[in-house]
A = this chain, B = another copy of it.
C-alpha cells in the first residue's frame, strides 16, 4: 500500500485528477509542479492513510512512519537541506487538505523542524536572528496549541504582555531578546499546562504534527462544517508536508493571497492582498490589514509580473478563476496553493459568461459553474437609492459581501440564535470571526467585523453564504464585555438597529429602506441559457397582482399557487368575510358572499391580464374560518358593534370556532363541503372573470385547485359544484380551457392517488402541509425541537426548507406512480416552499414533475437549479 506522494522537481507523483486521494491542496501542488510552476517541494500523505490512521485507533503504523522517513530523505536530497540539522536546516509546514475545501476547519503547523539548537543555525544561515527566533516562537505557539492542546489565548496573553512591556505595536518589532524571552515563557507554559516538555526531537515534532492534523479531521467544528455543507463520502484529510518558505525574511519577502479575477464582482482583473515581511497566516487571520495586490507592482515590479503570469497560466490550465497563495522569500516567488476561487453570485455569473465569450468553457459548463443557491445574493435587498440616508452614516469598512442588511445588533452566536428565533433580523457584530461563528452567521442577516480584510474568515464565509458583510470596519469599537459598540460619541446596545451596505462597506445608524434588484445583462444571459437546458417549468406562488408582476419580471411561466384567501384580508373585504363566517343560515352566508364576489372577480381579472395567457392555479379557500376572525379584545368589541350583536355573543361564537389542532381541523375542502356556497361563489367570480378577459382576446388558462383532499369523494363533491357553475357562466361564450385538480397535501391523498387521478386533472404537491402531516411536525411548534435535532446531528436539514426526499418524497413518488398509472397526462407540480430550493428541484426533475412553483424572488434560482438538474441527469445518462 502506497500512502505518500512526492511533489517537486521532476519527482512529482500526483496530479490534479487525484483530488480524492491527495486532497485538493495536495493534488494541485502536484499539478503545479507538473506544469513547472515554482513550488516548494514536499509530499502528500493520502486520505487513505488518514482512513487507516482512524481505523488503527489514531495510530500511525510502522509502514507509514517508514514511508514518511523515506520521503523526508527524498526532500532532503531535493532541497539540499537536512531535517534537524542546525547548519542547513530543512523546515517544514504540515497542512491539512481534504478533497473538498474546508477553510480553517482543520489544523496547520508551520516552521516545523526548529528546536533550541536549530534556531541558532537558522539565525546564522539566514543572517537574521530576529526572523529565526520569531519563526521559532510561532512554531512553539502553533505546536503547543494544535498538537499539545493548549489554548491559543494563553500564548497570546504572554505575547501581549511582552509587547506591552516592550511598548511595541507589531509582533515583528519585538527584539531578539524579547523573542528569546517569549520562547522561554512559551516552553514554560507548555510544561505547566501539558505536564511535558516541548519536544526537541524534530522527528517527534513531525510525527505528532501529522497525527494532530489527522485528528483534526474528526474535531467537532470540522464535523459540524461537513454537516452544514453536506459534505459526505470522504475518507479523511490528506496531510501536506512541505518545505517552508518564508515571507517574513525581511523587506524583500512577502506573502499573499490572490484571485485571478475579482471574486466580488467577477471583473477580469487581478485581485488580491499581501503583507510584506509576514507569514501567510497573518493575511488570513485578519490581524494586520493587508495591502492591495496592485501595490506589489510598485513595490516589487518583477515579482508582480512573474506572479501575474503564473496566475494567468494557472487559470488557463484549470479553466476557472483561481484562488492562490504565494510567498516571496528573498525576492524568490513560490506558489503555495491554487484552487478554484470562491466568488459572489455576481462574480460567478460574470466570470461564467466572460469565460464562454473567451472560449474557455461552453454554455453548459458555464451554467454548472454557478450555484443556484448563491443567486439569492443577487435577489437580496439593496439599499434604496431613492432614500437619503447620509445623516444616518456611521462608518465605512470593507465591502466584503454584497447585499444590504437591516437588523438588531447581537454580539454572540447565542444571542444571534435567540434573537432571530421569531424571524427577527439580526446583525452579528464581532472584532473578527472564527470558524466557531458559522452558527451565528447562519442565522444573521448580516455580519460586521472591526478587524480583518476582504479575505478574512468573515468575508469568505459570508460570501459563500450569500450574506451581506462589512469587514475591517476600524472606526467601530466593540466592548464585548459590556456588550456595546461605540462609533465616535455614539454608543449602541444589543438590540439596537443598524444597517449594512455590502456594496460600499458603509454602516448606518437605524433602519434604512431597501429595494430588490432587477435582472439584467449577464444574469439574464445565464437564465436564458438555463431555460434552454431545463425541462421543469418554473411557476410562481403569487396571490396578488403585485406578486404576479414581480414574478413575470423574474421569468415565471405561470402561477403555480394563488391562495384566494389572501384576497380576503384586504380592506373592507375582511368585514364581509367575517359576516359570512358568523352567518347562521345559508341565506345570510350567501348575502355576505355576494358582497365578496366583485372583489374576487376583479382580482382574477387583474391576474389573468398580468399573466397574459400563462396558466394560473387558483386554490379555493383553504384556512380554517377562525383565522379570519378578530383576535384582539378591542377589535372584537368593534366588530360586535358593527354586527349588532353583544360582545359576549361574538366572543362565544369565536370560541366555538376554535380548534385544538387547526392544522388537522375544519379547513380546505372540508369547509367547501360544509358550506358549498363558498366554492360556488369563488367559481362564479373565477369563470365570470375568465369570460370577460377572454372576450378581450387574452388567453386564459385557469387551473382550479381543491385543497386538502384526502378522499376522492371530497374531490368529486367540490368538482361538481365547479363544473355546474362553469356550465352556467360559460354557457354560449367562447370556450375556455380550464382544469380541475387538487393539492396533494394530506398523506392519504398521496396513498390514494390512483382513485383521485380518476377525477383530478392535475396534482400540485403542497409540501408544506404534506411535511407537517407526514412527519407530524406542526410548523408553528417545531421550533421547540427541530433546531435541537439539527444541532445534535439527528437531522441534517430543516425539512421545511429542503424537501425530505426519503419521507415526504416517498409519498410524492407513490402519488406520481399511482396517478400517472391512471392518467398518463396528469399534470404534476410542487408548490410548497421547498419548490425554490435547488436540491428539492433536482428531486422534482428526477421524478418527472412538470413544474415547480416558488416565491417570485426564488424564480431565478429555480430556473438555474432546474437547468442543473437536467444537465446533471444527462451527464449521468451519458
Contact = CB atoms under 8 A, between A and B. Distances in A.
A785 B674 contact: yes
Contacts of A789: 673, 713
A670 interface: yes
A661 B711 CA distance: 23
A488 interface: no
A177 interface: no
B710 A788 contact: no
A774 interface: yes
Given A661-B780, A748-B808, A773-B773, 8 more contacts: A663-B776, A665-B781, A711-B775, A711-B794, A717-B792, A746-B775, A746-B776, A752-B810
A795 interface: yes
Contact of A778 (B663, B782, B792, B807): B663
Contact of A794 (B673, B775, B780, B792): B673
B666 A785 contact: yes
Interface in A797-816: 804, 806-808, 810-811
B714 A781 contact: no
27 contacts: A660-B780, A661-B664, A661-B772, A664-B772, A664-B781, A665-B781, A665-B782, A666-B781, A666-B785, A670-B784, A673-B792, A708-B776, A711-B795, A711-B807, A714-B794, A717-B794, A745-B776, A746-B776, A747-B747, A747-B776, A748-B774, A748-B775, A748-B776, A748-B808, A751-B774, A751-B807, A752-B810
Contacts of A599: none
Interface string A747-785: 110011000000000000000010011111110111011
Interface string A276-317: 000000000000000000000000000000000000000000
A168 to B, nearest CB: 47
A661 B781 CA distance: 7
Contacts of A776: 663-664, 708, 710, 745-748, 769, 773
A480 interface: no
A256 to B, nearest CB: 45
Given A713-B794, A751-B807, A795-B711, A673 B774 contact: no
Most buried by B among A661, A666, A789: A661
Contact of A674 (B662, B713, B777, B788): B788
Q: Please tell me how many copies of the chain the complex holds.
A: 2
Contacts of A602: none
A866 B70 CA distance: 76
Contacts of A752: 806-807, 810
Most buried by B among A747, A788, A804: A747
A659 interface: yes
Nearest to A748: B807
A810 B663 contact: no
A765 B713 CA distance: 26
A772 B804 CA distance: 20
A775 B710 contact: yes
Interface string A738-749: 000000011110
Interface in A811-832: 811
Interface in A665-701: 665-666, 670, 673-674
A104 to B, nearest CB: 28
A717 B774 CA distance: 21
A122 to B, nearest CB: 52
Contacts of A664: 661, 663-664, 772-773, 776-778, 781
Q: Which 10 A-B pairs have the closest CB atoms?
A: A661-B778, A664-B778, A660-B780, A665-B781, A748-B807, A666-B784, A713-B794, A746-B776, A747-B747, A661-B663
Contacts of A811: 747, 751
A784 B769 CA distance: 20
A666 B779 CA distance: 11
Interface in A412-462: none
A612 B661 CA distance: 40
Interface in A36-68: none
Contacts of A661: 661-664, 772, 778, 780-781
A355 to B, nearest CB: 42
A863 B708 CA distance: 38
A339 to B, nearest CB: 34
Contacts of A792: 673, 717
Contact of A659 (B670, B710, B746, B778): B778
A781 B671 CA distance: 13
A147 to B, nearest CB: 33
A773 B794 CA distance: 22
Given A710-B807, A751-B807, A673 B788 contact: yes
A788 B672 CA distance: 12
A739 B788 CA distance: 28
A670 B785 contact: yes
A34 to B, nearest CB: 44
A483 B748 CA distance: 45
Contact of A747 (B659, B673, B773): B773
Contact of A713 (B769, B795, B810): B795
A710 B795 CA distance: 11
A808 B751 CA distance: 9
Interface in A546-598: none
Contacts of A772: 661, 664
